[in-house]
Amino acid sequence: MLTYYSLQALFLARMIMLWLGWLLDRLLGDPERLPHLIVGFGKLISWAEERYNHGEHRRRNGAIVATLLILSVAVLSFLLIHFLPSWLSVVLGAILVYYCLAGTTLIKEVEEVFRQLSNSLDAGREQLSRIVGRDTASLTEEECKVAALETLSENLSDGVVAPLFWFLISGVPGIVAYKMINTLDSMIGYKNERYSEFGYLAAKIDDVANWIPARITALLMLVVNMQWKLRAKVFDEGRKHTSPNSGYPEAALALMLGCQFGGAHAYGGLIVEKPTIGYSTHALGDEDLKFALQTNRKVEVLMVLIISAPFLIFAVL
């Protein structure tokens, strides 16, 4: 039976896991030479997709696969965290938080796009292809910059704010389950012939899991830059997006920078028309990149402080 003091210890442990995991991400980014939790998730999803994405019941199969994978990682992480010795559960929890955050790597990848563009357009295109799904071979320098910053804003929610939000809601099982949800969506949540049925439920779960975090992300982006007056425009522009969530952080950055996201893009040789978000007022430069990167870092810090507050208050009272 949980007592007040055991709950107090639990909240303190969660705060330590959070800060250690976040600091590891700030210092190290994604580990290049070590096994990565999310890579493991991807391999599980690929195996299940190859085995079960066929026949007459693809939607049912996909729903079962998504549900089992999400529940499995949540339950397994819960058991590990709550039944290991206290010090070991804190260490493991911090490592899992670290694996579930992608703020530092995202910033490095986007920064590298701009750096490579200063060398050559082809090098910038190649670097951009690492972080976007669209075809990059024919993009102009400005289109590469826009695509990189569009990805930066969208993934501030998916890679930082949403994982932290779900950690606040349900600790390590919450953040791990969210990353499985997000990985499922990124691999099988496409509306095409191969995945539209099998990935149907995975995409819907991802929409639900990101609904609140995406809007929180947009608002925090305005707060850290003292641009609260733009909130109505951000929500007007954000709801234009074909995704129920991605448009809000994209709109926040586009409106603050004076650039435009969306429009026609090629994916696998096919042109996909997306609504435009924001208004282009100037060509993007290094100052715009600096502003966008600083926005991401400030939002990270603010989000960590916000979700630390209830843990800290309960731990010390």
Looking at this protein, which amino acid is placed at residue 122? D
Mean pLDDT of the chain: 93
What lies within 8 Å, CB to CB, of 266 at 6+ separation is 134, 135, 138, 272
Q: What is the structure's pLDDT at 238?
A: 96
Q: What is the structure's pLDDT at 197?
A: 97
Q: What is the pLDDT of residues 22-44, one digit of tens each?
A: 999 999 998 777 788 999 999 99
Report which of residues 197 and 35 the model is more confident about: 197
**Dist. CA 196–CA 169, nearest whole Å:** 30
Whether residue 82 is predicted with pLDDT greater than 90 in this model: the reply is no
Cβ–Cβ under 8 Å, residues 96 and 13: no
Report which of residues 230 and 30 the model is more confident about: 230
* DSSP character at residue 230: G
Mean pLDDT of 117-122: 95
Q: Give percent above pLDDT 90 in the chain.
A: 81
Q: What is the structure's pLDDT at 317?
A: 67
Q: What is the structure's pLDDT at 5?
A: 62
Q: Give percent above pLDDT 70 in the chain.
A: 97
Q: How many residues are recorded in the chain?
A: 317
Token pair in block for residue 98: 């670290």
Q: What is the pLDDT of residues 142-168, one digit of tens each?
A: 999 999 999 999 999 999 999 999 999
**Dist. CA 116–CA 105, nearest whole Å:** 16
Q: What is the pLDDT of residues 94-119, one digit of tens each?
A: 999 999 999 999 999 999 999 999 99
